[in-house]
A and B are shown apart, each in its own frame.
Chain A
Amino acid sequence: MSEPTSGPVVEHLDRGPLSRDEMAALVARAIPAGAFVNLGIGQPTQVADHLAADSGVVLHTENGMLGMGPAAVGDAIDPDLTNAGKVPVTELPGASYFHHADSFAMMRGGHLDVCVLGAFQVSATGDLANWHTGAPDAIPAVGGAMDLAIGAKQVLVMMTLFAKDGTPKLVPTCTYPLTGVGCVDRVYTEVAVFEVGPGGVRVLETFGTSVAELAARLDVPLRS
């Protein structure tokens, strides 16, 4: 769990919401130089494209590798070298391989600095729901999400703030089955960045909207 940040909220009212690429770039800028980082499947994977070459950030993949490079193309594709999404990837100088028990010990043991995950819902106190909709016909599949959520020192979530039906995904209490309790530190959305935790929700930055407009659309109290 990271220390709460202080400082005034920054409202970017002269622009629209962030694109997916801009969101990924914003998350990338929040990752400290030299950090050991796990990027979840889906949108979080895009964060890698925005990490500066000289950042010294080392990417961890749950299936047993540190020093993961970009996606493999052409002759570089090797079926023995994939990421957590089973996509062929490459290795960077300084990479290492290890078995699954070690890979998850790195998470639980608090060795991983940051993980970036997608979410169905995040609660005001940082509960995460991202593995199961709870629908009767859905096949539950948790993968490494629960281990990552409770293991990484800092958990960043990337998601749209509203579901397709318009309901907020930042909620007072998650209605979907939980992945972890009180584990999320920050939530990056297309319209705002939030800090969540024991003290509730604080808005750090907005894009194409104001704190007042967000407060009207969300069911959680916002501090700024």
Chain B
Amino acid sequence: MTLVVETTDEAVDGIADGSTVLVGGFGMAGMPVDLIDALIRQGASDLTVVSNNAGNGDTGLAALLAAGRVRKVVCSFPRQSDSWVFDGLYRSGDIELEVVPQGNLAERMRAAGAGIGAFFCPTGVGTPIAEGKETREIDGRTYVLEYPLRGDVALIGAHVADRAGNLVYRKTARNFGPVMATAATTVVAQVGSVVEVGEIDPEHVVTPSIYVDRVVTV
């Protein structure tokens, strides 16, 4: 049952210290900035954040990092021209980093959401990413065993929700949202607007309501 809440503070209520938080967005596109701001006010700390990047500029994920709430970042591409907050924390040894190839990041969350125990993936064979991992040759090709990546909470951005919690996205702001929505115990979506049930064509729903726990308009 999806709850449409009035404020972002209600939307992030109950996130515990030490949680693994999946944060949507690719750069700032699809980044749930208002939910992250609410999470900073909420105060949860010692977090593991799973996101494609490690924050841009001084807002959104970068602000959460700057507030000292994040113990570890799991991402594919931390280093960017405007990732100075992460860069500083990493160089001073104040944050842990796990670099995951972008497709593995997505597929590991997809596996978590789909009940898959692990999967053999061709990405990263013979590279430092595969060191220490089990490999197997299947039909003449080598694969690396990769495990699911599950979150306690997912914070995602979407374009429109209906009151049942069905979501549609907008352009490339979709990115990790639909996959993260399947992979966390509690899924919170910030949306541009909430419409009545029936106003989204069922053929156009991208994330079905079953995955979504809380929705807030920003």
Contact = CB atoms under 8 A, between A and B. Distances in A.
A216 interface: no
B106 interface: yes
A151 B125 CA distance: 12
B67 interface: no
A141 B79 contact: yes
Query: Residue among B28, B87, B103 with the most chain A CB within 10 A?
Result: B103
A108 B172 contact: no
B177 A82 contact: no
Contact of A142 (B87, B101, B173): B101
A139 B79 contact: yes
A63 B175 contact: yes
Interface in A41-98: 61-65, 78-82, 86, 91, 97-98
Size bracket, chain A contacts: 35 or more
A101 B127 contact: no
Interface string B163-185: 00000011111111111000000
B197 interface: no
Interface in B40-82: 52, 56, 76-80
Interface residues of B, number: 49
Contacts of B121: 108
Contacts of B101: 142-147
A179 interface: yes
A143 B29 contact: no
Nearest to B101: A146
A80 B79 contact: no
A171 interface: no
A157 interface: no
A98 B175 CA distance: 7
Interface in A138-187: 139-147, 150-151, 177-181
A181 B126 CA distance: 6
Contact of A140 (B56, B99, B125): B99
A86 B26 contact: yes
B208 interface: no
A97 B99 contact: no
Query: Residue among B87, B90, B127 with the most chain A CB within 10 A?
Result: B127
Contacts of A98: 174
A3 interface: no
Contact of A62 (B86, B102, B177): B102
Given A99-B175, A99-B176, A150 B123 contact: yes
Contacts of A82: 26-27, 29, 172
Per CB-CB distance, the 5 closest pairs between chain A and chain B, nearest first, are: A104-B103, A147-B103, A181-B126, A86-B27, A100-B106
Given A99-B106, A142-B76, A142-B129, 7 more contacts: A100-B52, A100-B106, A108-B121, A141-B77, A144-B101, A146-B127, A181-B126
22 contacts: A63-B29, A63-B175, A64-B172, A79-B29, A80-B171, A82-B26, A82-B172, A99-B206, A100-B103, A100-B179, A103-B106, A104-B107, A139-B78, A139-B91, A140-B78, A140-B97, A141-B78, A141-B80, A177-B127, A177-B128, A178-B126, A178-B128
